[in-house]
Amino acid sequence: MKLTDKRFWHSCGNAVNELFFWLFIAFAVLLAIDLWCLLATAIVCLFREMGKSLTLLKIFGAFGIILMLFSNFTLWLTMYSPMIYKRLASVVWSKRLRPLYFLTLGYVNVYLLNLYYIRFRYSQYELTQYRVNVIYSVLVMFPIINIPVYVAAIRRSGQQVSLGDAAKLYMQGRLATYLIQKDYSSLTGNIS
């Protein structure tokens, strides 16, 4: 194979990774909008008649689940690109996340847990070909249900985090951020 062919295929791979990264951004933004609409509809449902509001609540809920699946799937595909992974991890390292917590109603923690744990649990081939048990990959998508993934991530980190501190960080929505910031050098150093 010629060197120019290798460069061509490498640039194609980078272009596909960028495409999936921008799809992830688009799905994450749509999910954030959907979560805010879901919250507003739930508030309206509490104080007004439930007929049309309940239908809207169901529509926003179903749309939100679809967007959760698509946004997490595109994140899984992009986080195996070293360049994109370093870019995402550096955002967490630089602590520029406060607006994202508010805008996504805390759902950004799910993406951070994906970045921290799932990438090192499975290879890209195993994850996309379903060659392994992907229970953690499914559990990670849903807040509160993803607590076993947090426990496994804490064990993987090798850091001593007391149960009280972990619970406090989880309730504040900062546990995944804490794990990434404490383990940042090894996370970006493991990238090949």
Amino acid at 91: V
**Hunting for tokens 């890209």 — which residue is that?**
124
Closest CA to 142 of 102, 107, 166, 173: 107
Q: How many structural domains comprise the chain?
A: 2
Residues 153 and 176 placed together within one structural domain of the fold: yes
Do both 29 and 67 map to the same domain?
yes
Q: What's the predicted TM-score (pTM) here?
A: 0.78
Mean pLDDT of 26-32: 93
CA angle 121/127/133 to nearest 5° reads: 70
Do residues 138 and 85 share a domain? yes
From CA 27, how far away is CA 25, in angstroms rounded?
6
Tens digits of per-residue pLDDT, 32-76? 999 999 998 888 888 877 777 788 888 999 999 999 999 988 888
Supply 67's token pair. 């967007």
Q: Residue 192 pLDDT more than 50?
A: no
Q: Do residues 38 and 106 both lie within one domain?
A: no
The answer to whether residues 127 and 190 belong to one domain is yes
Which amino acid is residue 8, in one-letter code? F
> Which percentage of the chain shows pLDDT scores above 90?
13
Same domain assignment for residues 88 and 179: yes
Residues 55 and 145 in one domain: no
Q: Are residues 87 and 122 in the same domain?
A: yes
